[in-house]
């Protein structure tokens, strides 16, 4: 079953095989023999190292031939296994230069039906600097795709540290975050940090959840509808969490209409992400204990949501 998701997946690998250089992918420590080696010596080495072929190099590391498992089997078959390889080896060796992309290696694997290629220092050179195999390429691709996930994971874990720092340094703190319009990848970070912060303070889970959702909806609103804005979160003396979102515009023409569940002005792009169902503002209003919104086409939108933390002062 091929649908759009697999296209996306394939396109990532597609980009990568053009981006990654053979130099970064090849095995640099490789086994080679001189022209005086016998088939027997090579056969033992192939078995020991579990490889399927070795290049034959001269004293200057220039390639003069290659011996594969197939050649060794033929040598067994034809009964010259103890002989010198020089007269039997494949002399026209397909190579690939190290500054090419791995797509070049893949194309040669297909075209010449080989599983490994000696890598030369540069095009038209005979000096061998490494060996590249299909499994080298697979390993590299796996490593790179996983590191994309790893990077996001690490960034996310930093948020935990940020909220831990807030707890340590400021028992009653004031967060201030800047959000820009159209930056969907970052939307939700404020909510995530805020959630961790209040969770770390031991606030009731349901209340933490309401604060997090309010933050998230406010962030998404800045992201979807405005040209950029600021979110602040603070705790007042009566232990209320106050979430404020100020954006620079363009403002809401009819606030009552915007507060109607289901009313939306979101773009198709936003809806494709699963947002923009016209539930944002109604949702914030619903989850907040107190809710204020002001908007003008001149100064942008100012939203304030107050959530009681459900703790008394002496507990703090």
Contact residue for another protein among 273, 290, 292, 296 (CB under 8 A) = 273
Q: Under the phi-then-psi rule, with left for phi > 0, alpha for psi from -120 to 50, and beta for the rest, what region is 308? A: beta
216-245 mask for another protein (x: CB under 8 A)? xx----------------------------
Q: Which is nearer to another protein, 63 or 187 (CB)?
A: 187
Measure the CA–CA gap between 51 and 116, rounded to whole angstroms. 10
315 lines the binding site for another protein (CB under 8 A):
no
137 lines the binding site for another protein (CB under 8 A):
no
86-125 mask for another protein (x: CB under 8 A)? ----------------------------------------
151 lines the binding site for another protein (CB under 8 A):
yes
DSSP per-residue string spanning 149-192: HHHHHHHHHHHHHHHHHHHHH-SS-EEEEEE-TT-TTTTTHHHH
Q: Considering the complex, what minimum distance in angstroms separates the CB of residue 56 from another protein? A: 41
> CA-based diameter of the chain, in Å?
94
Q: Which long-range contacts (CB under 8 A, 24 or more apart) does 53-56 make?
A: 53/115, 53/116, 55/30, 55/93, 55/118, 55/128, 55/131, 56/32, 56/85, 56/89
Q: Which is nearer to another protein, 33 or 275 (CB)?
A: 275
Look at the alpha carbons of 49, 55, 57, 62 in this order and tell me if their dihedral is positive or negative. negative
Q: Which residue, chain included where needed, has tokens 């539930």? A: 279
Q: Which is nearer to another protein, 4 or 59 (CB)?
A: 4
Q: Which stretch binds another protein (CB under 8 A): 2-10, 101-109, 118-126, 167-175?
A: 2-10
Q: Considering the complex, what minimum distance in angstroms separates the CB of residue 138 from another protein? A: 17
274-303 mask for another protein (x: CB under 8 A)? xxxxxxx--x--x-----------------
DSSP per-residue string spanning 215-269: HHHHHHHHHHHSS-EEEEEEE-TTSEEEEEEEE-S---S-HHHHTSTT-----HH
Q: Which stretch binds another protein (CB under 8 A): 13-21, 40-48, 174-182, 268-276?
A: 268-276
Contact residue for another protein among 1, 77, 168, 298 (CB under 8 A) = 1
Q: Under the phi-then-psi rule, with left for phi > 0, alpha for psi from -120 to 50, and beta for the rest, what region is 301? A: beta
Q: Which stretch binds another protein (CB under 8 A): 128-136, 167-175, 204-212, 241-249?
A: 204-212
212 lines the binding site for another protein (CB under 8 A):
yes
Q: Under the phi-then-psi rule, with left for phi > 0, alpha for psi from -120 to 50, and beta for the rest, what region is 202? A: left
Residues present in the chain in total: 316
Which residues are at the interface with another protein (CB under 8 A)?
A: 1, 3, 5-6, 8-9, 12, 145-146, 148-154, 156-157, 184-185, 187-188, 191-192, 195, 205-206, 209, 212-213, 216-217, 273-280, 283, 286
């Amino acid at each position: 079953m091929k649908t759009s998701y697999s296209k996306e997946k394939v396109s990532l690998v597609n980009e990568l095989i053009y981006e990654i250089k053979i130099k970064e992918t090849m095995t640099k420590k490789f086994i080679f023999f001189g022209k005086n080696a016998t088939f027997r010596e090579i056969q033992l080495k192939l078995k020991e190292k579990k490889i399927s072929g070795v290049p034959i190099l001269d004293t200057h590391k220039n390639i003069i031939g290659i011996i594969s498992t197939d050649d060794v089997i033929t040598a067994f078959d034809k009964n010259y296994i103890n002989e010198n390889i020089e007269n039997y080896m494949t002399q026209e060796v397909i190579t690939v230069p190290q500054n090419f992309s791995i797509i070049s290696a893949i194309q040669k694997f297909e075209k010449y039906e080989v599983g490994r290629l000696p890598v030369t220092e540069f095009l038209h050179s005979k000096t061998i600097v490494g060996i590249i195999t299909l499994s080298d390429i697979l390993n590299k691709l796996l490593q790179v795709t996983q590191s994309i996930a790893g990077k996001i994971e690490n960034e996310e874990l930093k948020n935990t540290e940020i909220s831990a720092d807030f707890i340590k340094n400021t028992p009653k703190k004031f967060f201030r975050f800047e959000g820009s319009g159209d930056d969907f990848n970052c939307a939700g970070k404020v909510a995530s940090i805020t959630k961790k912060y209040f969770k770390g303070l031991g606030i009731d889970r349901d209340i933490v959840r309401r604060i997090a959702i309010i933050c998230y909806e406010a962030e998404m609103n800045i992201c979807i509808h405005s040209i950029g804005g600021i979110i602040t979160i603070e705790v007042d003396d009566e232990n209320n969490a106050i979430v404020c979102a100020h954006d620079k515009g363009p403002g809401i023409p009819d606030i009552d209409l915007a507060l109607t569940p289901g009313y939306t002005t979101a773009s198709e792009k936003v809806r494709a992400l699963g947002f923009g169902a016209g539930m944002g503002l109604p949702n914030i209003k619903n989850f907040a204990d107190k809710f204020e919104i002001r908007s003008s086409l001149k100064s942008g939108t100012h939203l304030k949501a107050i959530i009681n933390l459900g703790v008394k002062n002496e507990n703090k």
